[in-house]
Amino acid sequence: MLPMNIFNNKYNIITFIVSVGVAVLIHFPEILALSPYSGENALFPGIRISDVVSEVVFAALSLCLIFILNTQIFKFNTYLAKISWRRLALSFLMVFILSSLSGKLFILVHRYLDIPALDTTLHHYLHPMRDLIVACIVTGTCYMMNLILRQQSITFEIQQLRTENIRNQYEALKHQLNPHMFFNTLNTLQALTREEPQKARDYIQELSKVLRYTLQIGDSRSTTVAAEMEFTQAYIYLLKMRYEDNLDFHIDIDKELNNYHLPNISLQPLIENAIKHNEISNRHKLKIIINTDKEDNLCISNLIQSKRVAEVSDGIGLANLAQRYQLLFNREIIITRADNTFTVKIPLIQTL
């Protein structure tokens, strides 16, 4: 829902400015007559500054009151009101009548309370024209403000729906990651428990770090490089227990980028992708390099050593990360294959 108090404040300010502007405009001939270059003031004989000031102030206050009444009766300041041509015509007629009555009221106040005012025949003839101008300006201003409010309301609701849609998409993508992190982990733990109880205890300790990280992120959509690398180190330990010396990691992260941001659990699917699509054996040890470059990208690369029997890929890993980057930062990840090396570069975000 559009924050109505903010709009109403702007609405009140604008109507006040318009009231003062119109009050000055409709009394511009009198203001001009005060100029020393206007001759002998034949149109407004005996005109005084106090007369003009009194007229302008009363007109501005009257217009403010008319704006308030017009808004309260026809609900121009709410986007729920449907402003039809009939309502506009009624508004115009009401403003015209109120403007005419306010002019007559000022004449009475001038006569009985001796308030400064002009008292010329021409001035009285100008009143109907001024009432018409006031009706056009007040009704037109209220209508335009209502159109702006309705447009802002539509834009605000669209933005809310878009934000909610992005949040739902992101949550769906994030939840796709959880099963992939632990499919092989429990099998490795089962084997260690039987054969090497001490290593099993260490394994459980690192596994708890991984689980704690995935639980603590909650609704958080991004994390720092330092936090992501701490999680990655624990995940790498789990992998090393499984593949031993056949899997090697080389990590070189610029410490100045530790506070930069990236989506939660960005490195894990990339590491998993490298392991899934490449042979890891005594003959073909897999080396994964994780480093940063001069363009503030986090790079993950490995030599391509395809398996003899390729695994069926569900396409979640890289596609998931690419979609999350697009949703969160409107940025693209870079995937390259060159010199028999597969590299993924993910941009690090300095500020959110």
Q: Which tens digits make up the pLDDT trace of 212-239?
A: 777 776 667 789 999 999 989 988 988 8
Instruction: Output the pLDDT for position 180.
Output: 52
CATH architecture label of 183-347: 2-Layer Sandwich (3.30)
In tens, the pLDDT along 84-141 reads 888 889 989 999 999 888 888 887 877 777 777 666 555 566 678 888 888 898 888 8
Does residue 286 contact residue 304 with C-beta atoms inside 8 Å?
Answer: no
Please compute Rg for the chain using Cα positions: 37
β-sheet bridge partners, residue 302: 288, 342
Residues 6+ apart with CB under 8 A from 113: none
Cβ 106 vs Cβ 117: under 8 Å = yes
CATH 3.30.565.10 positions along the chain are: 183-347
Residue ranges in the chain whose pLDDT is less than 70: 1-8, 36-45, 79-82, 117-126, 160-184, 217-219, 309-317, 352
pTM of the model: 0.52
What per-residue confidence (pLDDT) applies to 167? Answer: 62
Give just the sign of the alpha carbon dihedral 251, 252, 256, 262: negative
Compute the CA torsion angle 10, 13, 19, 24 (nearest 10 deg): -120
Looking at residue 188, its pLDDT comes to 75
Q: Cα(241)–Cα(54) distance, rounded to whole angstroms?
A: 90
